[in-house]
Structure 1
Amino acid sequence: MKLGKLSLVAVMALGTSAFAIDNVKVNGEAKVWYQTSETLGSNLDMFDHGTNSLAEVSLLVGATMDLAPNLSMGASAYALTTLGLENNLVGQVPAARLNPDGTAATGALDDQSWARELYLAYTAGKTTLKVGRQELNTPLAFTEKWNVVDNTFDAAVVLNNDLPDTTLVGAWVGKDNGAASNTTVNNGGKFSTFGATGAYAAGAINKSIPNTTVQAWYYDVQSVADAYWLQADAKLMNDMVELGLQYANMDKKYVNYSDTDIYAVKLGVNVANSNIYAAYSSASDNNGNGIAQADNFSNVATGDKSMIYTALGSIYMDGEHTTKSDTDAWKIGASTKMIPGVTLSASYGEAETDGNNNAANKAEYSAWDVIASGKVGPLGLTAIYTQYDKEDNTGAKTIDTDTLRIIASLKF
């Protein structure tokens, strides 16, 4: 590790001899990601070597360092490879298999690498400016951590903490490498313009009320949509009870689209090192115009995962289903850490969409998710089993899928 730090410092020092680089911290993660599925009516069974089985290996290496007083820098890079698994165990990869325009990439099985982060951060008083390639964590645009690699953004973000118990956020997002269809990032990690011509965001996070976090966000995705997000999360009765409320509105700047909103509630109880919760969400229709491609409140960068309570912690029952316009969804779940070093959780959710007054688009979704995670020495292990169904407007089952996902990671 000392040799790694010395080499990195030497590389970063080239051309920057005017700066005294200090406080260098190197970090990273090696990850192996595997998933296999079985769908009713398909000729592919669990653990077959076809496109129903996916695997990939990633290596993330990064560093942060101080360049000058109040000025720091961060950088990280991904290496992504199949290690030849597609010739022996699987037939597809879980990430980076689409081009920025959504078409299938011809080199998805090739080794890939890209700069995940490269930013400068300057702090003056209680204000920090962070400019460059970075992670984001906002309700409608965020970095997703579930896949073998994650997505990032080219952005400028300002954080201010002058107001008591309050963080103010302002951001400009110019580019990102997020991809749809559950592939998380574009092939080769390629970045393209975020939305149509970029986006602005502003937010405020306040903790003035004891045991309560309140946040409000506004987004202007240029030529695409205006949106805002309101949320309050509280812990009551000595943290035994958790209560959450969410409301969001999105106004698409397209012909034939009107604004769509969604609200969600969540109630949880913590007892004996365990948590039990229930959540419900309801999204309005988009003016009842029967458009097949419904709006949703998922991550703008990927169209996949969502911060709405009913979309959390599930492989398939995420923002694509539970936050569609004209959809009601509910979810119940429980988790426990009663076994030392192991977290066990299970959830069941359903979503019903009326298809914006178009009978052909009506559907019902349901899914079980069972998750076990823990560590064996320095190695983190996660296993997820899910059973996912879809019924069309006639009640006929069109999807019946069982999926097993296994993730092993080593952080350093």
Structure 2
Amino acid sequence: MSQLEILTRIKDDVEGTRVQVADGKANTEVAGAPIGTQVIVRHLFYNAPARRKFLKAPLRETELIQKQIMLYALAFPQIAFRLIVDGRESLVAPAASPLERIGAIWGREVAGEMLEVNYTSIDLSVRGFISRPTLVRASREWQNFFVNGRPIRSGLLAVMLERPYLGRVPPNRHPLAVIKIDVDPQLVDVNVHPRKSEVRFYQERAIYGTVSQAVEAALRDFPVTYQPGTTNWPFANVPVGEGAPAPMVREESADYRAANWRAVAQVHNTYILAQSAEGMVIVDQHAAQEQLFYELLTTTGSNQNSVISIQIQVTAREAELLNDHLDLYHSVGIDIEPFGENTFRINALPAFVNLEPREFITTLLQEHERYRQLEGDALRDKLAARAACISAIKAGDALDSDRQQTLLNELAQAYSPATCPHGRPVFVTLRLEELERRFLRR
């Protein structure tokens, strides 16, 4: 399937050996070589055009290779890795400690937020690093599991990893992790997936439970701060004396400004119920503000920025995406510039952004990676839509009457208020005639 060359020499030998394989024939000869082993693969699928046709675009194949190299670099920090793409160094990771290797792959800032996990029993060990609850991502892409040095995918391991984080991180956020599980090879079946990326454990419950216990031990100093399933109670600060009658609580009258729609109530902290001249309107609060932010980002001269100055570190692939599209990021109000190898300085962000700047940029880079095949306005629209989505009011956020009315007034001025950037409806209307028919008044 390829033309293979192996050049190898052990430390105590004076000369090395070169093995060349092509068309199923092997040729071995003595050769000068440095200590170690080099494996060179050329002309992949040169004799199998049907297989070669199914290769993806060169850029995509390069990304997959880079991800695989980074995966093995995390698995074997004692081994140096160097990836060269088109004559340019894409990744350099010298032999280092496990935490130093995380810093080389994910950045020093990420490495500084990692906690060590270390559990050992008679026939099982769980080692590695997990992120503090203050460092989370929107996806599980940054979670890596290794069994006896083999990288694997396991949804159940991810669940057991995240269980101790419950109540310590916001909903729908996922920690970063490099977890290495060493177990007796006889207790692992690696032949359950064609790519060997999934395994089956003989003692599944013991291993999954151990992972969860090891992570819980590493997080013991971090208190539970979130209560899943709860909402903000708007009268939580109303004083009530013990044994005394509860005070009368009244909602302040709203000073509504002139607008086509008048906010009446918030339903399930998700929808705004409004009265219109024709009847009533139900507005999705998240979709409404998402569309407003999207129009700010995509309308020239409409976006105001908040000035900051923060340095962030990104992966080599993310740095490449940023360097190639700096003007595009500037067009959506993100003033960012290179500041060293895989390091960037954020000078300004859209004023409405309420996320921590590093998390905001990381989330946009994940969206950029997802739509890497797009360019120009198409890519800008995807990034603007994502930036608007993560910055907008969420379902479950309680809004007072003033904020409800302000949102309706702003929506009335929007260029395209009917749908959000993802195509979902922003509001639905119920005409007065329809209400009267339903109540048999007509």
Shared fold, TM over 0.5: no
TM-score normalized with structure 1 length: 0.26
Higher strand share: 1
TM-score normalized with structure 2 length: 0.25
Give the number of the structure whose alpha-carbon radius of gyration is greater. 2
